[in-house]
Structure 1
C-alpha cells in the first residue's frame, strides 16, 4: 500500500483534530503577540524558551530567553513601525511538537534604524517563517527565518 499525503500533513505523521485545534489556537495567540498584545506572552511562552535567529546586532538569538526576552524582542521589532501588522500566509503546519507558519508583516517605517536612508512613512512589507517547538501548550523553542535582506533594502540601510 502506498502512502498518500494530505495537504497540511507529512508522511508518517497523523495530526488529530484536537492537536490541530490547539496548534491553531497557539498560532492565533502567537500572531496576537507579534501584533502587540504583550499580555498574552506569559500564557504562550515558556520561561525556558530558547530563540534561534539572526539578530540585527549579529547575535544568534541565544541571549533572548523566557517571557521577558521574547517580549523585548517583539517590542524591538515593532519599534520599526508602530502600525506593523503580521498575518499568516501559510500554516499552521504541524509535525509532532513542531508548528510552522509563513508570515508577512506590513506597515510604515517609523524611523530610528541606524543607517537607514528610507523616509519616515515608507511602506514596508517583509516575510518570514517561524518554527515553534511546543510543550504543554507553550513555545519552548523558536526558530526565526525572516527576509531581513529585503527589509534592509526597503529601509535603504547602507545605501549612499
Structure 2
C-alpha cells in the first residue's frame, strides 16, 4: 500500500507518468467540484490527470504533503494532506494577485481494487483556498 500512496502523492505533485499502473480504468471521483459537478466526469486515469493538470495550471508550484496517515482498513486508505503553492492567475472569479501564496488542507479516502485506486472521495478545505484567492472580495 505504501507504493500506492507514494504514487498518489507524486501524481498530485505533478508527476503524471505511469498513472495507468495505479489508477483503475473505471476510476471514479466523488467530490463537490468548483464547477458545480459531482466529480462523475473524472472517470478514468486520463480524466484524473486532466483535472489535476487544470488545478496545477493556476497553482503550478503546488506541493502536497501527507500530514496524517495513511490509515488503511481493508480496501480503504484515508489520509489528511496539506497543499502549499503560489497562484499563477487564470482562475475565473479569483481576485488575488499573481504570486499570492496559498496553504490549504484536505482529506482523501481511496478505495482500492486489485491493487489499483478505483474510487476517490475528497474533502478539501475549499473555503480557505477561495478566501486566499480572494473569491469573496
Do both proteins adopt the same fold according to a TM-score greater than 0.5, normalized to the shorter chain?
A: yes
Name the TM-score, length of structure 2 as normaliser: 0.97
Counterpart CA distance in 2 for 1:35 and 1:24 is 16
What do the CA deviations read for 1:75-96 (whole angstroms, capped 9, x no partner)? Answer: 1111121111000000100011
Residue 135 of structure 1: aligned partner:
113
Q: 103, 114, 117: which is aligned to 2:92?
A: 114
What do the CA deviations read for 1:87-144 (whole angstroms, capped 9, x no partner)? Answer: 0000100011000110001000110111111110011011000100001111101001
1:158 Cα offset (Å) = 3.1
Higher strand share: 2
What do the CA deviations read for 1:22-62 (whole angstroms, capped 9, x no partner)? Answer: x2111100000000111131111101111101111000001
Q: 57, 63, 66: which is aligned to 1:85?
A: 63
For structure 2, the residue ranges without an aligned partner over 5 or more in a row are none
Larger Rg computed on CA atoms: 1
Q: Which runs of 4+ in 1 moved over 3 A?
A: none
Counterpart CA distance in 2 for 1:144 and 1:76 is 17
Aligned-residue Cα RMSD (Å) equals 0.8
Residue 98 of structure 1: aligned partner:
76
Counterpart CA distance in 2 for 1:106 and 1:40 is 24
Instruction: Report how many residues are paired.
Output: 137
Secondary structure of the corresponding residue to residue 129 of structure 1 = strand
For structure 1, the residue ranges without an aligned partner over 5 or more in a row are 1-22
Contact kept in structure 2, 1:33 and 1:40, CA below 8 Å:
no
Name the TM-score, length of structure 1 as normaliser: 0.83
